[in-house]
Amino acid sequence: MSYELQCHRCGACCRHPGEVRLEPAEIARIASFLGLSEPSFIEEHLRLRQDRRGLALKERPDHSCIFLEGNACVIQPVKPGQCLEFPNRWVNLLWGKVPLEAMRRDYPMLFGCATFQDFLVKEASPDPAPKE
């Protein structure tokens, strides 16, 4: 089964520590959207990924995304694929395959997500009795 959850734009995922990895096409698209050259965008907004295999968005000291203002994404129209796929990618990769306790331990950002919380309530509720 594949799930297509609708983001509530609560901003929880944007406040959680982690890496938002960028592909070269995403770098070009975001830089253009912001009116920056790619080198300027890279210098101001990106850092080397922890695995040293590419670039990721810088974070604020509180671990929130540098493009988060309130609950709004400043780059919403061109946000990275990793952001677009949240929480669906994780739900579809993990749900029913990984115990809930392991998900809570290894993917805590899911549990702050309003969309995922709604999903949990729906999945945990018993099916209504069939109509006769």
My answer on whether 61 and 96 are in the same domain is: no
Predicted local distance difference test score (pLDDT) of residue 128 = 55
What does the alpha-carbon distance between residue 96 and residue 45 come to, in Å, rounded to a whole number? 37
Predicted local distance difference test score (pLDDT) of residue 68 = 95
CB 61 within 8 Å of CB 15: no
My answer on whether 107 and 64 are in the same domain is: no
Predicted local distance difference test score (pLDDT) of residue 109 = 84
My answer on whether 29 and 69 are in the same domain is: yes
Predicted local distance difference test score (pLDDT) of residue 41 = 98
Residue 45 carries which side chain, given as an amino acid letter? H
Classify residue 94: in a domain, yes or no. yes
Number of structural domains (the chain) is 2
Tens of pLDDT, residue by residue, the chain (132 residues): 788 999 888 888 899 888 999 999 999 999 999 999 999 999 999 999 999 999 999 999 999 999 999 889 999 999 999 999 988 988 998 999 999 999 988 888 889 899 999 999 998 776 555 555
Structural domain boundaries, residue 31:
9-79
Which residues sit opposite 59 in a β-bridge?
65
Predicted local distance difference test score (pLDDT) of residue 7 = 87
My answer on whether 63 and 105 are in the same domain is: no
Comparing C-alpha atoms, which of 9, 39, 13 is closest to residue 27? Answer: 39
Predicted local distance difference test score (pLDDT) of residue 48 = 96
Predicted local distance difference test score (pLDDT) of residue 97 = 93
My answer on whether 45 and 106 are in the same domain is: no
Question: Who contacts 97 (Cβ-Cβ below 8 Å, separation ≥6)?
Answer: none
